[in-house]
Amino acid sequence: MDRLLTLKLDAIGCEAEALLNGVPLARVDAARPRALVPIHEYTLAGMNRLELVVWPHPATAKPEDIPPPLKLKADGLAMASARILLPRMGNTVDEGSSRSLAEVVWAPATGESFEPPVSITQDLQLPVSFPRWRWMDMPATELQPAQLAALKAQAAAMLQQFGREFAAGDFNTFFKATQLRSEELAVAYQRPAEQSNAQLRERLQGIAAARTPWAPVDPESLVLRRLAGGRLLEALSADGQPALRTEPDAHGKVYAFPMRLATVDGRLYVLR
């Protein structure tokens, strides 16, 4: 593959999140003002929607915990932008060496009023010919409390099993559960699934060899964040980070593995 479709998100003086087709792919703030993310597996043949959200709510915020809107005035310095770029492989991902396919910008003038979160969208056609990803055909879930509790328990049990087996150096259950994801990523990036899985297995073996413990997954505090209209559920801890992750190692590094799930007939499947 000689080109890599990439999302570039920048923010100055604010926090911002970028979404593609309803899936949040990057979040930036003062500590991390730029993010670059390859986006093939969330890109559709035909119409796509790019969304920029400035001052987004926390990823794990419950509707009842969201404060009422507060009107603010811009200082003329804060700004955010989300761009879809098509650089050539080996080139820097920037506007100078890449073809810009889409751009959404928030840059209010001094004194301009706004109510966070601010959402700006752009619908666009992208020059891609990807197949229709299976997550697009998943049922959109609007979970009732009892359904949500059952799915959280199921998701927590699955992630706990992954963590236990990872610690023991056993990765078979994980790779079986993520087979569909591996197959679609192979198509998205034109790279053999076996090669990507071998690299991931090597990484997991290194974590196991270092005896880095895996963080516990608590069903009560686990959050299943609805993405893409409820077609996907992202497994997050209460702090908004991926629920499947290690404890900090001796150098303070945390290894995290985002899990985006779909539910069919009450069962969860790993799609991303």
- What is the spatial distance between Cα 191 and Cα 185, in angstroms, rounded to a whole number? 8
For 235-251, the pLDDT digits (tens) are 999 999 999 999 999 89
Task: Quote the pLDDT of residue 238.
Answer: 93
Nearest to 14 by CA among 120, 122, 96, 124: 120
Task: Quote the pLDDT of residue 147.
Answer: 85
pLDDT-derived band of residue 3, with 50, 70 and 90 as boundaries?
confident
Degrees, nearest 5: CA angle 242-234-34: 60
Task: Quote the pLDDT of residue 100.
Answer: 87
Task: Quote the pLDDT of residue 1.
Answer: 55
Task: Quote the pLDDT of residue 94.
Answer: 63
Percent of the chain predicted with pLDDT > 90: 79
Task: Quote the pLDDT of residue 235.
Answer: 97
pLDDT at residue 270 greater than cutoff 70 = yes
Determine the average pLDDT of the residues in 155-167.
96
More confident residue, 129 or 22: 22
Degrees, nearest 5: CA angle 183-34-127: 45
- CA 17, chain centre distance (Å): 10
Which of 81-85, 88-92, 268-272 shows the lowest mean pLDDT across its residues?
88-92
Task: Quote the pLDDT of residue 217.
Answer: 96
Task: Quote the pLDDT of residue 93.
Answer: 66
Which of 68-77, 115-124, 140-149, 255-264 shows the lowest mean pLDDT across its residues?
140-149
Determine the average pLDDT of the residues in 66-92.
88
Q: For 157, phi and psi rounded to 5 degrees?
A: -60, -40
Which uninterrupted H or E stretch holds 90? Answer: none
Q: For 182, phi and psi rounded to 5 degrees?
A: -60, -40
pLDDT at residue 76 greater than cutoff 70 = yes
User: Do residues 85 and 10 make contact, with C-beta atoms less than 8 angstroms apart?
Assistant: no
Task: Quote the pLDDT of residue 90.
Answer: 63
Task: Quote the pLDDT of residue 261.
Answer: 95
Strands of the 46-54 sheet, one edge to the other: 23-28, 16-20, 46-54, 118-126
Q: For 79, phi and psi rounded to 5 degrees?
A: -160, 160
Task: Quote the pLDDT of residue 266.
Answer: 79
Task: Quote the pLDDT of residue 129.
Answer: 86
Is the full-model pTM beyond 0.85? Answer: yes
Task: Quote the pLDDT of residue 141.
Answer: 77
Q: Which two tokens stand for residue 153?
A: 């328990």
- 272 contacts: CB under 8 Å, gap ≥ 6: 23, 41, 42, 135, 181, 232, 258, 260
DSSP 8-state class, residue 122: E
pLDDT at residue 193 greater than cutoff 70 = yes
- 69 contacts: CB under 8 Å, gap ≥ 6: 115, 116
Task: Quote the pLDDT of residue 144.
Answer: 81
Task: Quote the pLDDT of residue 92.
Answer: 63
- What is the spatial distance between Cα 201 and Cα 227, in angstroms, rounded to a whole number? 28
